[in-house]
Amino acid sequence: MMTSGPTLLHDDGGDATAIVIMGASGNLTRTKLAPALFSLYRKGRLPDHLHIVGVARDVMADEEFRDALRGSIPDADGGEWDEFATRLTYATADVTSAEALKTLYQRLDEFDPGENGKLNCLYYLALAPGLYEPAVTALSEAGMADEWNGWRRIVIEKPFGSDLITAQNLNHHVHSVFREEQVYRIDHYLGKETVQNLMVFRFANSIFEPIWNRNYIDQVQITVAEDVLVGERGEYYDRSGVLKDMFQNHLLQLLALITMDPPYAFAADALRNEKVKALSAVRRMSLRDVRDNVVIGQYDGYHYEPGVSPGSHTPTYAALRLYVDNWRWHGVPFYLRSGKGLSRKTTEMIIQFRSPPHMLFPVPDNVDIPGNTLSICVQPNEGMRLEFQSKVPDAELEMKPVSLEFHYDEGFSGINLPDAYERLLLDALEGDASLFTRSDEIELAWSIIDPIVHGLDLPGAPAPFRYLPGMDGPPNSEELLRSDNRRWLPGCVEVGYGI
Q: Site residues (CB under 6 A) for ligand BG6?
A: 158, 188, 226, 245, 347
- Asked if residues 228 and 340 have their Cβ atoms less than 8 Å apart, the reply is yes
The length of the chain in residues reads 499
Question: Rg (Cα) of the chain, in Å, rounded?
Answer: 24
In whole angstroms, the minimum distance from the beta carbon of 279 to ligand BG6 comes to 18
* Choice between 245 and 443, CB closer to ligand BG6: 245
* Choice between 229 and 399, CB closer to ligand BG6: 229
Single-letter code of the amino acid located at 134: P
Q: Which of 145, 153, 144, 53 is nearest to 99 (CA)?
A: 144
What are the Cα distances from residue 140, in Å, to 97, 192, 428? 11, 32, 20
* Choice between 333 and 464, CB closer to ligand BG6: 464
* Choice between 417 and 471, CB closer to ligand BG6: 417
Distance CA 227, CA 204 (A): 34
In this structure, what are the phi and psi dihedrals at residue 16, rounded to the nearest 5 degrees?
-90, 150
Strand order in the sheet with 183-185: 88-92, 49-56, 16-22, 119-125, 152-156, 183-185
Distance CA 481, CA 19 (A): 47
Q: Which of 250, 313, 330, 407 is catalytic?
A: 250
DSSP class of residue 332 equals: -
- 146: burial class by Cβ within 10 Å (0-12, 13-18, 19+)? exposed
In whole angstroms, the minimum distance from the beta carbon of 245 to ligand BG6 comes to 5
In whole angstroms, the minimum distance from the beta carbon of 492 to ligand BG6 comes to 14
Q: Which residue is nearest to ligand BG6 (CB)?
A: 245
In whole angstroms, the minimum distance from the beta carbon of 254 to ligand BG6 comes to 11
3-state secondary structure of 176: coil
In whole angstroms, the minimum distance from the beta carbon of 340 to ligand BG6 comes to 7
* Choice between 338 and 447, CB closer to ligand BG6: 338
- 89: burial class by Cβ within 10 Å (0-12, 13-18, 19+)? buried
In whole angstroms, the minimum distance from the beta carbon of 439 to ligand BG6 comes to 19
* Choice between 245 and 405, CB closer to ligand BG6: 245
Q: Is 313 a catalytic residue?
A: no
- 239: burial class by Cβ within 10 Å (0-12, 13-18, 19+)? middle
Active site residues: 250
